[in-house]
A and B are shown apart, each in its own frame.
Chain A
Amino acid sequence: MSVRIESLTKTYGVQNAIDHIGFTIGQGEVVGLLGPNGAGKSTTMKILTCFMPQTSGEAEVCSFNTRTNPLEVRKRVGYLPENNPLYGDMYVKEYLMHVAGMYRLTQPEARVKKMVELTGLGPEQHKRIEQLSKGYRQRVGLAQALVHDPEVLILDEPTSGLDPNQLVEIRNLIREIGQQKTVILSTHIMQEVEALCPRIIIINKGKIVADGNRESLQRGRKGHEVIEVELDGSLDTGLIRAITSVLRVEVLPGNRYKIEATAGEGLRKSLFDLAVNQNRTILSLNVQQSSLEDVFRQLTQS
């Protein structure tokens, strides 16, 4: 087990930031920690990186306890905190050498060179960090988290504030890294999780509300079917609602209707019949999978 958390609780004053959460993450897994702002994602990560002690419960990284053996844990964890704090007045290479020095790497130069290559910092490596664009800073943040070849990588919102191109680049980088390492990343962007993480843990108000792979989470909502239908003219929504299995109808622009119904074969046939009766032609008909976003909203809204 790379990471093991058991009944972990952190209390700020009277508020429980996280409340008896527990999970284990195997070696090489890439896990997305999902949740609304303030759900307890960062708190969990800060405990795992030994930045902050927990109020109660246990956390282990590579079988080392964060409370009793913090130095061993820290050696094995690479951490990119939220907002990616860096020393702006240092040069990229100088900074990475400094970090490598703190981990007492035997061949810091070679390692730093490798990281510069891996993160694509080559053309920027002789600049001051404060001169870099946000995307490149994020790369520096990733490089410093990786320089000591950690077994576990903890990334707190690694892609926040990046433009779409940078987003794709950083995601590709994380995907590449994720092939060899255990990665825990937090985010509240659904597409990111879908793109990167086979396993998802959803936290809400300090509690784990879902833990599983993408498909199983989506299946959790099965029994619902969403169909988007496009016609060549308008249709009375009352008629659609009259179909027995229909739960909800949403009118979209361009004679399109989003219909939510209990699952079953009947809906599409009924819709087709209805269209024929009303002298309408169905131009397109899509069965939509209930998206992760729906699952997320359902689980975290109260």
Chain B
Amino acid sequence: MYSLFIKEIRSFLSSPIAYMVIGVFLLVTSLFIWVFPDYSVLEFNFANLDPLFVMAPWIFLFLIPAVTMRSFAEERKSGTIELLLTRPLTDWQIVGAKYLAGLSLVLLSLLPTLLYAITIFRLADPIGNVDTGAMMGSYMGLFCLASSFVSIGLFSSSLTDNQIVSFVTAVFLSFFFYAAFDSLSLMSLPQQVLLVLEYLGIAQHYEGMSQGVIDSRDLLYFVSLNAFFLTLTRYVLQNRYR
């Protein structure tokens, strides 16, 4: 499993996709944080990273599917899936290795944004006068959100041998879980239904964590969402390719 994980990371890093994804992510977030006057920290004079945490989900919504679209679709197209599935690995190990590789890439793209955090920390007046708790919570929330997108992306990739189809499916599903549930909960429906809809959406839990409140219910939500899509992926792997 370790060997497969390393191979996945290497194939990310040896293709331009990873660099493009990380580069675009950093470029867009830094534009929003520092340059665009409508969002810029420098204009608003609030020492926080809110522009990052508001924009990042929307950027991840497109970038993570671009990273994960290959994972199973390409193996299937080139036939290497047949070799992969006849190695002495369980299906969980295969799904797990690919999932962890995707997560690592997400971490890699989040890591440089710590520089922004440090800058904000230094810019604050007096120095260090920032809501560290909220920032750490936001980072955790963002990571949870990104990991959900990774598992959704893996699942979408397992459905098809066409990377474009995989990408579009992943963007749609991610969007649906991120924003659509939240928006649906504005419809005029019975209160209980609305609560369930809202609970199912990623947005509510993400915002909860962004305020620096690490609620076990939010964590449980993200763990279940990830587990749900990874289980589906494994199910497809077991039944569709064979």
Contact = CB atoms under 8 A, between A and B. Distances in A.
A50 interface: yes
Given A74-B86, A77-B86, A103-B87, A86 B80 contact: yes
B83 interface: yes
A49 interface: yes
Contacts of B242: 51-53
Interface in A100-119: 100-103
Contacts of A90: 7, 10-11
A71 interface: yes
Interface string A53-78: 10000000000000000010011010
A102 B89 contact: yes
Nearest to B242: A52
A258 to B, nearest CB: 43
Contacts of A53: 242
Given A85-B78, A89-B11, A144 B83 contact: yes
B2 interface: yes
A101 B2 contact: yes
A291 B141 CA distance: 72
Interface string B47-84: 00000000000000000000000000000001111110
Contact of A81 (B10, B83, B89): B83
Contacts of A100: 3
A85 B80 contact: yes
Interface residues of B, number: 22
Contacts, number: 61
Contact of B11 (A46, A77, A87, A99): A87
B83 A101 contact: no
Contacts of A85: 78-83
Interface in A78-135: 79, 81, 83, 85-90, 94, 98-103
Contacts of B219: none
Interface string A241-282: 000000000000000000000000000000000000000000
Nearest to A87: B80
A89 B15 contact: yes
B104 interface: no
Contacts of A83: 79
A85 B11 CA distance: 16
Contacts of A98: 3-4, 6-7
Contacts of A87: 11, 78, 80
Nearest to B76: A85
A290 B82 CA distance: 39
Contacts of B83: 79, 81, 85, 144
B82 to A, nearest CB: 5
Nearest to B89: A102
A125 B6 CA distance: 20
Interface in A125-163: 144
B126 interface: no
A51 B82 contact: yes
A74 B90 CA distance: 11
Interface in B1-41: 2-4, 6-7, 10-11, 14-15
Contacts of A77: 86
Contacts of A52: 242
A102 B79 contact: no
Contacts of A81: 79, 82-83
Contact of B88 (A51, A75, A144): A75
9 contacts: A50-B85, A51-B85, A81-B82, A85-B80, A85-B81, A94-B10, A98-B4, A100-B3, A101-B3
A-B pairs with lowest CB-CB distance, top 8:
A101-B3, A85-B79, A74-B88, A52-B242, A85-B80, A49-B86, A75-B88, A81-B82
Interface of B: 2-4, 6-7, 10-11, 14-15, 78-83, 85-90, 242
Given A74-B87, A79-B86, A85-B80, 17 more contacts: A50-B86, A51-B242, A52-B242, A79-B83, A81-B83, A85-B79, A85-B82, A87-B78, A90-B7, A90-B10, A99-B87, A100-B3, A101-B4, A101-B6, A101-B7, A102-B4, A102-B89
